[in-house]
Amino acid sequence: MCDKKGFGPVPCAFTGAPDPLTDDEAKAAMKEMCPHLASEAALCCDKDQILEMRSSFEIYGLFLKKCPSCFLNYQKIFCHLYCSPKQNTFAKVLNTTKSEEGKDQIQEIDYFVHNDFVKGIYESCKGVTRFGLKIIDVFCKPWSAEKCNQERMLKYLGADDEHLGHHPFQIDFVFTDKPTYTLGSETFTAANEMTYKCSESANGQPKCECAHCKAAC
pLDDT at 196 over 60: yes
Q: Do β-strands 91-98 and 133-134 pair in parallel, antiparallel, or remain unpaired?
A: unpaired
Amino acid at 118: V
User: Per-residue pLDDT tens for 26-81?
Assistant: 999 999 999 999 889 899 998 988 998 898 888 888 878 888 999 999 999 999 99
- Residue 60, pLDDT score: 81
Is residue 66 within 8 A of residue 212, CB to CB? The reply is: yes
* Percent residues over pLDDT 90 in the chain: 46
- The mean pLDDT of the chain is 88
Q: Do β-strands 104-114 and 8-10 pair in parallel, antiparallel, or remain unpaired?
A: unpaired
| 86: confidence class by pLDDT, cuts 50, 70, 90 | very high
| 3: confidence class by pLDDT, cuts 50, 70, 90 | low
List the domain boundaries for the chain.
22-216
Is residue 21 within 8 A of residue 27, CB to CB? The reply is: yes
pLDDT at 113 over 70: yes
Amino acid at 155: K
> What are the residues whose beta carbons fall under 8 Å from the beta carbon of 103, sequence distance 6 or more?
2, 12, 13
pLDDT at 136 over 60: yes
User: Per-residue pLDDT tens for 76-85?
Assistant: 999 999 999 9
> pTM of the entire structure?
0.89
